[in-house]
Structure 1
Amino acid sequence: MAKRLTLYILIGLVLGLIVGWAINQQIVDGSAAGAARAKEIASYFSIITTIFLRLIKMIIAPLVFSTLVVGIAHMGDLKALGRIGGRTMAWFLSASLVSLTLGLVLFHGIEFVIDLVSPGSGFGLKLPPPDATVGLDEKSFNLTNFVTHIVPSSVVEAMATNEIIQIVIFSIFAGVALTAIGEKGAPIVRGAEALAAMMLQITDYVMRVAPFAVFAAITATIAVNGLGILWTLGLFVGSFYIGLAVLWLLLFGAAFAIIGPRALTLARYIGEPILLAFSTASSEAAYPRTLEALDRFGVPRKIASFVLPLGYSFNLDGSMMYMTFATLFLARVYGVDLSIGQQIVMLLVLMITSKGIAGVPRASLVVIAAVMGQFGIPEAGLLLILPVDQFLDMGRSGTNVVGNAVATAVVAKWEGPLDVAEAPEIEPPHAPSRG
């Protein structure tokens, strides 16, 4: 089933490119009316994608809660929980620093090549007026809001709004409490196990819609923007994807150094979640399948259910690399000269602010907008990259899945030998039996 689903998603992606391009060529004629008509047609296709993503969001909260509670309860040792948490955060911080630094180094490499080939030409783009506004609420990103937002005022509200980090906080308290009360909490633990099994079964049903959602998402994007936009900002988009490829090599290289040759098996197992996140531009859409893939790979459920949800709030590697690269790109096109010291400060600011971006629409752009003002870079520059943000978000989302899967597998390896992986053709188990 897993192999067939991956094939169907690929077919949906290719068909989406073809149909979207055909619509764009037939409808968009350079006029405002043509562009409006293309957006209207795209909105019809987007209904399918929206339904799919809503179905995924329907699963996330109960799945995170049940698997995390069961995982902590089965640890039975609060010292082990603290040790795993410490190792997880250490990896997340290290990966964040590497991702941000890679964005900085990559940009300067591209900049050097441009200056070498055509000195003083810059990127040759028509710039929006410096006083143009994008309409992003960058004021919401500050230390006070971030810290207070972590703690839920109501677990019901947190689950209703899919605030993963808040659900994680409550689930940790619940799991620790169940461990403390021992046998009295056994019925709740069994209920949570049943809930997790049910949600994974629902995931299988929902994933049957995935190829149609991928087709609709790609069709809608290409119908409105066309493939030409990729040529206009081809250097920016292409160099960013080169950077993502380098980041993938570093992540899997680190996994190989710690896990060994089985890192290649991990890469194969998470292929479907990566493709799903890439084609829908949503790493959240891939969460249930990533959890199942890690289970098949041999990561104990008690570790995967703890590390993976945290990763969705604290370990968005693709998004972090993008923020550094895009900010420096916009500084260059507007002629804002940043010293090495300023660039290092920018990197540190981005590393802190990026930890609060989960669940915020166009979160990477919001963080960039908030940071740009601190370094004298016009916010209007975001108008340059908005047309290709969907294509960039696809790469960011896929990379976030890679980063979190590698982080979970590495932490599991640090905790002890990995379980024996199941054969790729075997369906993933539907019950959280490990732990």
Structure 2
Amino acid sequence: MKKRFGFKSLTAQVLTAIVLGILFGQFFPKYAVDLKVLADIFIKLIKMVIAPIIFLTVVTGIAGMGDMKKLGRVGGKALIYFEVVSTFALAIGLIVVNIVKPGVGVNASAAKGDISTYTKQAAEASHGVMDFIMSIIPDNLIGALAKGELLPILFVAVLFGVALASMGERAKSVIDLFEKMTEGIFRIVNMVMKVSPIAAFGAMSYTIGKFGIGTLFYLGKLMASVYLTMALFIVVVLGLIAKFYGFSIFKFIAYIKEEILLVLGTSSSESALPRMMERLQKYGCSKTTVGLVLPTGYSFNLDGTAIYLSMAAMFIAQAYGVHLSVGQQLTLLGILMLTSKGAAGVTGSGFVTLAATLTAFPMVPVAGIALLLGVDRFMSEARAITNLIGNGVATVVISKSEKEFGTEAAGSVQETQLPA
């Protein structure tokens, strides 16, 4: 029996909250800008549970798996998949922006706005390969959980999971305890999710109140190009990948519609991470695969951010009349392949990464990011949704490739929760 789409459903509540937020921001902008705190509180509540969820899920998954060769195989497959697909996303962005040329004719001298915050963060974020590797290793075990950074948490969780797996039966009581703790944390997530419509209302009110509804149409050609490119990437690229592995991208999107609307309201793919981990397991993915692939994807498989970065960089070059040869564009692509891997799934991270990229590629003026200040918030939503869908597809693909996808469980989910 299918669930009815009534107002009691989270989907309807979040969608209604987004519409009300747009209206409130338009007619009461003075008060709307103060409502950003509602979204900030919600995202902080979500971040509160991300670290323990990832840690507990990965530890119990690896400890229960017991096969270290399998662990290495899953991790290797995931990283290869991430690199191929995200590079493809970057290339698609470059191709479309070269065809459409949204920056040609834009008055670059009109770029106004304080970009010092982003350039400062970009400078702080810039580091070499060894610095990146060192940043994965936390100062101590507790520090990794306390700071909440994904890669150090994964590193500690993998080590702890391997240690428990090597203990055999002696670790059973610890694994049982961790599984019960995981269930308790997910119950907290369900409690927090009940206030997500309020967060969506606050975030959308702030966006419209601060930048104005006219901002939705400012630099419309670039926005339309970015949205179109991301839609094509999801439908064509991810759609073909999904079809090859035996599932429908449209049915999958319908299945995670609540998570997509949550991301649309908060402009943060990270806000849906705990819920996505639970949903993907119900969809049929193995617990181990979800625990390893999804969190890692939030650092290495940001398809939406990759598309945005390549298009935004070329847009600025076009706006300033900077002609980049094919070789220079390939160099830019190479830099983006590195910088896009460090972008977190939080609001504004793509903007900081763009500043870091242009700092490393001086042929395009970094000051040009001021052109995007007004519309970045709206494009942030598009790239966050693309990131979410991309990582969800990646998790299903890796799970299927490992023959750890529960066909019966997935079929049951699709029959009861997906539209005909």
Report the CA distance between 1:395 and its aligned residue: 0.8
Q: What corresponds to 2:111 in structure 1? A: 128
Q: What corresponds to 1:393 in structure 2? A: 380
AA partner of residue 63 (structure 2): A
Q: 1:96·1:320 contact (CA, 8 Å) conserved in 2?
A: yes
Matches within 5 A, 1:28-107: 38=30, 41-107=31-97
In the alignment, structure 1 residue 412 sits paired with structure 2 residue 417: no
Tell me whether 206-215 or 138-147 shows the greater mean CA deviation.
138-147
Count of equivalent residues: 405
Cα distance in 2 for partners of 1:132, 1:85 equals: 37
Alpha-carbon displacement from aligned partner over 1:213-266 (angstroms, at most 9, x marks no partner): 101110111011111122221111111111110111134323333322444432
Report the CA distance between 1:130 and its aligned residue: 12
Cα distance in 2 for partners of 1:371, 1:261 equals: 36
Q: What corresponds to 1:345 in structure 2? A: 331
For the structure 1 residues 241 and 398, does the alpha-carbon distance in structure 2 shift closer, same or farther, using more than 3 Å as the test? same
Q: 1:71·1:301 contact (CA, 8 Å) conserved in 2?
A: yes
In the alignment, structure 1 residue 243 sits paired with structure 2 residue 229: yes
In structure 2, runs of 5+ residues without a counterpart are none
Q: What corresponds to 2:98 in structure 1? A: 108
Q: What corresponds to 2:268 in structure 1? A: 282
Cα distance in 2 for partners of 1:299, 1:129 equals: 47
Look up the SS of the partner of 1:136 in the other structure.
helix
Q: What corresponds to 2:135 in structure 1? A: 149
Alpha-carbon displacement from aligned partner over 1:325-365 (angstroms, at most 9, x marks no partner): 00000011011111100111111111112212226763222
Cα distance in 2 for partners of 1:129, 1:265 equals: 43
Alpha-carbon displacement from aligned partner over 1:179-231 (angstroms, at most 9, x marks no partner): 11111211211111111111111111000000111011101110111111222
Q: 1:265·1:297 contact (CA, 8 Å) conserved in 2?
A: no
Report the CA distance between 1:133 and its aligned residue: 4.9
Tell me whether 157-166 or 236-245 shows the greater mean CA deviation.
157-166
AA partner of residue 302 (structure 1): T
Matches within 5 A, 1:145-224: 145-224=131-210
When normalised by structure 2's length, the TM-score is 0.91
Q: CA RMSD in A?
A: 2.2
Cα distance in 1 for partners of 2:191, 2:256 equals: 19
Cα distance in 2 for partners of 1:133, 1:63 equals: 35
Q: 1:312·1:404 contact (CA, 8 Å) conserved in 2?
A: yes
Alpha-carbon displacement from aligned partner over 1:257-306 (angstroms, at most 9, x marks no partner): 33224444322211111111121011110011211221221111121111
Q: What corresponds to 1:257 in structure 2? A: 243
Cα distance in 1 for partners of 2:294, 2:117 equals: 33
Look up the SS of the partner of 2:375 in the other structure.
helix
In the alignment, structure 1 residue 402 sits paired with structure 2 residue 407: no
Cα distance in 1 for partners of 2:135, 2:346 equals: 12
In structure 1, runs of 5+ residues without a counterpart are 25-37, 116-120, 428-435
Cα distance in 1 for partners of 2:270, 2:390 equals: 13
Q: What corresponds to 1:230 in structure 2? A: 216
AA partner of residue 222 (structure 2): F
Look up the SS of the partner of 2:28 in the other structure.
helix
Report the CA distance between 1:309 and its aligned residue: 0.8
Cα distance in 2 for partners of 1:208, 1:389 equals: 28
Q: 1:150·1:165 contact (CA, 8 Å) conserved in 2?
A: yes
Q: What corresponds to 1:118 in structure 2? A: none
AA partner of residue 5 (structure 1): L
Q: What corresponds to 2:291 in structure 1? A: 305
Q: 2:21·2:204 contact (CA, 8 Å) conserved in 1?
A: yes
Q: What corresponds to 2:257 in structure 1? A: 271
For the structure 1 residues 201 and 360, does the alpha-carbon distance in structure 2 shift closer, same or farther, using more than 3 Å as the test? closer
Indicate which of 8, 25, 29 corresponds to 2:13: 8
Look up the SS of the partner of 1:291 in the other structure.
helix
Cα distance in 1 for partners of 2:48, 2:276 equals: 16
Q: What corresponds to 1:432 in structure 2? A: none
Q: What corresponds to 1:27 in structure 2? A: none
In the alignment, structure 1 residue 423 sits paired with structure 2 residue 413: yes
Q: 2:36·2:203 contact (CA, 8 Å) conserved in 1?
A: yes
Cα distance in 1 for partners of 2:358, 2:39 equals: 32
Indicate which of 294, 298, 302 corresponds to 1:316: 302
For the structure 1 residues 130 and 330, does the alpha-carbon distance in structure 2 shift closer, same or farther, using more than 3 Å as the test? farther
Q: 2:115·2:367 contact (CA, 8 Å) conserved in 1?
A: yes
AA partner of residue 263 (structure 2): A
Q: 1:129·1:380 contact (CA, 8 Å) conserved in 2?
A: no
AA partner of residue 136 (structure 1): T
AA partner of residue 314 (structure 2): L
For the structure 1 residues 263 and 297, does the alpha-carbon distance in structure 2 shift closer, same or farther, using more than 3 Å as the test? farther
Alpha-carbon displacement from aligned partner over 1:99-130 (angstroms, at most 9, x marks no partner): 1001101101112xx79xxxxx6235543389
Report the CA distance between 1:156 and its aligned residue: 2.1
Cα distance in 2 for partners of 1:343, 1:158 equals: 37
Cα distance in 1 for partners of 2:113, 2:172 equals: 61
Q: 1:130·1:381 contact (CA, 8 Å) conserved in 2?
A: no
Look up the SS of the partner of 2:56 in the other structure.
helix
Tell me whether 407-416 or 224-233 shows the greater mean CA deviation.
224-233
For the structure 1 residues 187 and 338, does the alpha-carbon distance in structure 2 shift closer, same or farther, using more than 3 Å as the test? same
Tell me whether 41-50 or 187-196 shows the greater mean CA deviation.
41-50
Report the CA distance between 1:43 and its aligned residue: 4.5
Look up the SS of the partner of 1:201 in the other structure.
helix
Report the CA distance between 1:134 and its aligned residue: 5.6
In the alignment, structure 1 residue 293 sits paired with structure 2 residue 279: yes
Cα distance in 2 for partners of 1:200, 1:132 equals: 39
% identical aligned pairs: 36
Look up the SS of the partner of 1:67 in the other structure.
helix
Look up the SS of the partner of 1:410 in the other structure.
helix
Report the CA distance between 1:403 and its aligned residue: 0.6
